[in-house]
Structure 1
């Protein structure tokens, strides 16, 4: 009997995988949606009754539901390189000349759309999806397998003559239709709409509940087979093979026998791209012959056999209807241009950031001006000019506001930064909420399950006004909140309780003293054993701490002069939050770097900046924040800039690459 049930389950799985392939890859469905849903429900019923036949790649698991509290970092077996960019045909012609010089033989190309989304690397073993990892820094990324399995375009089970083990690289993106659906839902819920499909797709992949990821309606296209051995001689042939195995590849990809054919492809899609249902920001051109790809190899960051042609930013004219002002967490005011809706690069643009008063003055904006709007990099709209010929001479010049739009407090302008800010940090609603969101963030107290939307709800219900209020919350207060289940409420309470173990330096960062970032908080925690010691410190004592200048010292003193901040600190202490340093939390591994100072610059690939600075401290060295004669070692990654030049000019600073730094530690 059990064998019959098992066979029924396996047959249903295979049939549903085939229907998914027909629908998503071939675009040739053979049954109706209703019939498909009946089969899926039957499989769900059988799997629920017979959990002994569980399969991690069952099509029923696409609905999501797996909760991932953190995303492990995974090393890429094959590095995920970035592409060199070109912006005109001269760049492409120069690239081809370099190829011809290296190869001295005919070259064909594959031209593909450059999807505007998030890169992904997916491992398949024995025809089954094993693991999915984000691009990250190219050397390592976040493992997001549960979330990727919810995307219908990505096969869970392959069929055909696929290799035993390989990776598929591709792009996860949002169609404009699904992006609009998400924003309609958010606006109905009183939430701010997302800015663009690319960032929304990327952010969706890091949602902890895979069922929520499923609701976003993400799409995917696969464009690169990666393995030690290739079952074909050309990239084009590989694309066709991967399609036969079940992968969705770009229907628009084209085999080109010359660069002129590539140019024709680019010209066509430069004008037709907005007819697509998704965003692209260019064309990717690859050498087709795999043996030629191997001969050409890689630079330090890019394959020599591929190039990205980036489309130029588009510009349109529309009417400026009004200027409104947003208040950020730190009180900084950002002016926003509200525009008569206009189609730009395939999306309707309604708003554009004006950044600050100086930008408004530079543009010379008047009420109801007709302005030129451009999408920089196809993403963020910005006003780049005014059509003075259409200006009504009676329209008034736009004057920057004097008072906070949220609380009415008179604004203060930071002259050297062209920034206005609201000084009412403890009672201006966006600042109050922003401060609490900062407190629970990953780099601060890392309170899981307490997100920005929940905090905004709690604030609206007058349950919290500052971080100390979190510790007085009860499950009974949380349960009446919208979309709050008992388990969710308990998870929040547990997360708040767990945060009492977070070390002093992170709490110090989390309470939000102006100008006290992560690095400064670490240095303060090393020099002052408790929040009380820090509170008693004079300006003279504070500036003796490395990297603490007069501005930071003044900010710290001002924070502790406010009675409301003192009350919050006392309440946090009473709840058991770590406001004093625990000894021996930073284990010293050696003294090989004793009395040596270090600074890291550029894009690091072997370790993160935080990890590097921690290694310095654990081996007796010191981290400093600027290049000076007091610096012993400058460790440089990719694209090191002004700091490297300054160190070279000083001449006494030893410059190391990442491996040389590890060699100092004996690694």
Structure 2
């Protein structure tokens, strides 16, 4: 692991952490992972506590101190053992168990939480003169002997965390300041939020305030993945974080890789005299505190802090929109008091969003892998937030219409979340009388096929999937990427050359390339050509789930491809599955099921799959990835699963049924043996089962069957 960067190692551990928890049973050859049937009650309870403490220690060393004390294999084996024990004995699962980090709890609706300490809003200003006035008001009340603490105002989502005896018990959103939503299950998936705090002289009960955010790096990574599968892009990191915290499935929240900076400690009889002391305590307790805060002895130092970060905010991993200024001493805060809405001892200074005007020279249209057509504005170069901006996305036809864009317009450009340049408005007073309005094109700019617009979608699409050059090239680029076939020695420029020379038109053609064909291309010597061919041949060993992702079915990302591969086992079963059968697979919603059905209904796509089969790519799950058989106790029995369950996810139930010899069907019929019904089971399925005389069983009934 020492050969990887820390960031790479963290991503690996996050992925492995999730994968093994959901998929891999622990080895039964290790004496520590022996069957629970051969362990005493006392031993099981002790083992759960031991594993929880051990894994939490490894995680703390890994994420907080960048130290890996065990191999990934050893870590994941211990984690799988803990998960198995907790599944069998949920009453002994520890509240700070590391298995909570991957989520899995389903929240149908968020309970209301009343804040013990109201989450008041701050007064704010954009004026440095008003900050001077604020400083003078403070001095009139408490004199000149005081200090400030300055903190960055992070553009995220406020959160309140309550700890009792060191354990995280409640996490809540700000709401209206008096009450918010209970998002505890979702907050537990955020790795920078401690589940248990261990420190000397810890207050028995305390609350921590912080800001949940999505880093620029994570935001860009998620949008790249969404672009890969043809899904709509997230608008900005702040909205993405906010939406994630209100997801009903905490396992999905875990995949968003949210982070949290904390900035305030609250409680009764705390042993701290200043805000700075309390923040340093939070740091020592293992909380994630941004190191950017600063104690300032005067308003002049405050201004220096403001000006420094105004120039350097683009160096941060997330967006900020200003700074927060607080009186440091708690006793002085008490003296200053509150207004009806906000404290008198704090104020927020907001930066003006940097916007520049420039000319709209033209609008061009880009075609993506899935056929989505995106308008892009070509601008007169303008310096914005430290970079020269020449282009800006206009997103879709609706945005063109909203802005009422004309060629030659003087437009206002901002950087959305300091990442993506965007046009925010037009200076109508500067519009030329005879300027031409921008209208969305009717035909694909690459192949001249008439564009289509699907119901409920903002984007226009080129439907010529088999003949549009940008889509064909994009499909090959998608196929070779690291998360798919990971073919080394080939990049975008090489694909352009091979395509333009007529040597490839789809990914299967890569496997028919010859050395002499490559030697005739620019920048290819014998060694580089052979490296490319070796990389192509090596990719034939790529597991089926990654092949399925690389095939490029719209909405089928890497995780969905893994779920489909494990559920169906091979490409032929997926191709033969109808809409209802696909919906029974884990995490397969309506949109994904429709897309998969449409893909395999197309004769050209079926021919493409056969071309891949002919060259020898993996189109079925290998034996090493298949679930080990547990028993034949369910042999000859069929099940339909409906609703949500306390101890299993639906894919876990399906795997359990199949591991014990049973089969899972998509719909209720007279031939069905059991309807396995959880909470909120479908009324129509229950009614049909009763009419047909099909036995309806509970989760407990099912466990009794296989015990």
Give the TM bin, normalised by the shorter chain.
0.5 to 0.7
C-alpha separation in 2, matches of 1:284 and 1:24: 28
Structure 1 pair 10/313, CA: closer, same or farther in 2 (3 Å)? same
1:41 aligns with 2:83: no
1:360 aligns with 2:400: no
C-alpha separation in 2, matches of 1:404 and 1:497: 46
SS of alignment partner, residue 288 of structure 2? coil
Out of 217, 224, 229, the position equivalent to 1:189 is: 229
How far apart are residue 60 of structure 1 and its match? Answer: 1.3
1:351 aligns with 2:393: yes
How far apart are residue 11 of structure 1 and its match? Answer: 3.0
1:410 corresponds to which residue?
none
How far apart are residue 187 of structure 1 and its match? Answer: 1.3
1:223 corresponds to which residue?
263
Following superposition of structure 1 onto structure 2, how do residues 199-214 of structure 1 map, counting pairs within 5 Å?
199-214=239-254
In the alignment, is the contact (CA less than 8 A) between 2:153 and 2:321 conserved in 1?
Answer: yes
Out of 447, 455, 458, the position equivalent to 1:430 is: 455
How far apart are residue 29 of structure 1 and its match? Answer: 6.0
Out of 169, 180, 184, the position equivalent to 1:145 is: 184
In the alignment, is the contact (CA less than 8 A) between 1:133 and 1:144 conserved in 2?
Answer: yes
How far apart are residue 208 of structure 1 and its match? Answer: 0.8
C-alpha separation in 2, matches of 1:323 and 1:360: 16
Following superposition of structure 1 onto structure 2, how do residues 182-581 of structure 1 map, counting pairs within 5 Å?
182-316=222-356, 321-322=362-363, 338=377, 345=385, 350-352=392-394, 360=404, 365-366=406-407, 371-375=411-415, 381-384=422-425, 397-399=435-437, 401=439, 429-430=454-455, 475=580, 478-479=583-584, 487=642
C-alpha separation in 2, matches of 1:179 and 1:343: 24
Structure 1 pair 357/192, CA: closer, same or farther in 2 (3 Å)? closer
Out of 155, 166, 173, the position equivalent to 2:213 is: 173
Out of 134, 146, 152, the position equivalent to 2:173 is: 134
C-alpha separation in 2, matches of 1:187 and 1:402: 21
In the alignment, is the contact (CA less than 8 A) between 1:123 and 1:132 conserved in 2?
Answer: yes
Out of 27, 44, 52, the position equivalent to 1:13 is: 52
In the alignment, is the contact (CA less than 8 A) between 1:352 and 1:383 conserved in 2?
Answer: no
In the alignment, is the contact (CA less than 8 A) between 2:86 and 2:92 conserved in 1?
Answer: yes
How far apart are residue 7 of structure 1 and its match? Answer: 3.1
Structure 1 pair 135/62, CA: closer, same or farther in 2 (3 Å)? same
Structure 1 pair 493/17, CA: closer, same or farther in 2 (3 Å)? closer
SS of alignment partner, residue 455 of structure 2? helix
C-alpha separation in 1, matches of 2:146 and 2:412: 42
C-alpha separation in 2, matches of 1:343 and 1:183: 25
- Give the TM-score of the pair, scaled to structure 1: 0.56
**1:259-284 superposed Cα distances (whole Å, 9 cap, x missing partner):** 22222221111111111111111111
1:465 corresponds to which residue?
none
In the alignment, is the contact (CA less than 8 A) between 1:373 and 1:385 conserved in 2?
Answer: no
Structure 1 pair 189/256, CA: closer, same or farther in 2 (3 Å)? same
C-alpha separation in 2, matches of 1:4 and 1:477: 42
C-alpha separation in 1, matches of 2:315 and 2:282: 26
C-alpha separation in 2, matches of 1:131 and 1:105: 40
**1:483-522 superposed Cα distances (whole Å, 9 cap, x missing partner):** 5696588999979969xxxxxxxxxxxxxxxxxxxxxxxx
SS of alignment partner, residue 283 of structure 1? strand
C-alpha separation in 1, matches of 2:440 and 2:43: 76
C-alpha separation in 2, matches of 1:73 and 1:342: 48
C-alpha separation in 2, matches of 1:366 and 1:495: 56
1:61 aligns with 2:103: no
SS of alignment partner, residue 430 of structure 1? coil
Report how many residues are paired: 426
C-alpha separation in 2, matches of 1:432 and 1:86: 39
In the alignment, is the contact (CA less than 8 A) between 1:342 and 1:350 conserved in 2?
Answer: no
SS of alignment partner, residue 191 of structure 1? coil
Following superposition of structure 1 onto structure 2, how do residues 649-664 of structure 1 map, counting pairs within 5 Å?
none
Structure 1 pair 41/208, CA: closer, same or farther in 2 (3 Å)? same
C-alpha separation in 2, matches of 1:405 and 1:99: 64
Structure 1 pair 107/35, CA: closer, same or farther in 2 (3 Å)? farther
**1:419-467 superposed Cα distances (whole Å, 9 cap, x missing partner):** xxxxxxxx98435999xxxxxxxxxxxxxxxxxx99xxxxxxxxxxxxx
C-alpha separation in 2, matches of 1:376 and 1:102: 40
Structure 1 pair 88/39, CA: closer, same or farther in 2 (3 Å)? farther
Structure 1 pair 432/264, CA: closer, same or farther in 2 (3 Å)? closer
C-alpha separation in 2, matches of 1:109 and 1:27: 33
Structure 2 runs not aligned, ≥5 long: 1-39, 366-373, 445-451, 460-554, 557-577, 594-639, 644-665, 668-676, 685-707
2:524 corresponds to which residue?
none
How far apart are residue 5 of structure 1 and its match? Answer: 3.9
Structure 1 pair 140/237, CA: closer, same or farther in 2 (3 Å)? same
1:575 corresponds to which residue?
none
Structure 1 pair 496/5, CA: closer, same or farther in 2 (3 Å)? closer
Structure 1 pair 11/477, CA: closer, same or farther in 2 (3 Å)? closer
- Give the TM-score of the pair, scaled to structure 2: 0.53
Structure 1 pair 318/110, CA: closer, same or farther in 2 (3 Å)? farther
Structure 1 pair 486/314, CA: closer, same or farther in 2 (3 Å)? farther
- Could you say what the CA RMSD is over the residues aligned between the two structures, in angstroms? 4.4
How far apart are residue 63 of structure 1 and its match? Answer: 0.6
C-alpha separation in 1, matches of 2:442 and 2:337: 56
Structure 1 runs not aligned, ≥5 long: 325-334, 407-426, 435-452, 455-472, 499-667
SS of alignment partner, residue 282 of structure 2? helix
In the alignment, is the contact (CA less than 8 A) between 1:124 and 1:130 conserved in 2?
Answer: yes
In the alignment, is the contact (CA less than 8 A) between 1:313 and 1:377 conserved in 2?
Answer: no
How far apart are residue 19 of structure 1 and its match? Answer: 3.8
1:106 aligns with 2:145: yes
1:77 corresponds to which residue?
116
In the alignment, is the contact (CA less than 8 A) between 2:208 and 2:265 conserved in 1?
Answer: yes
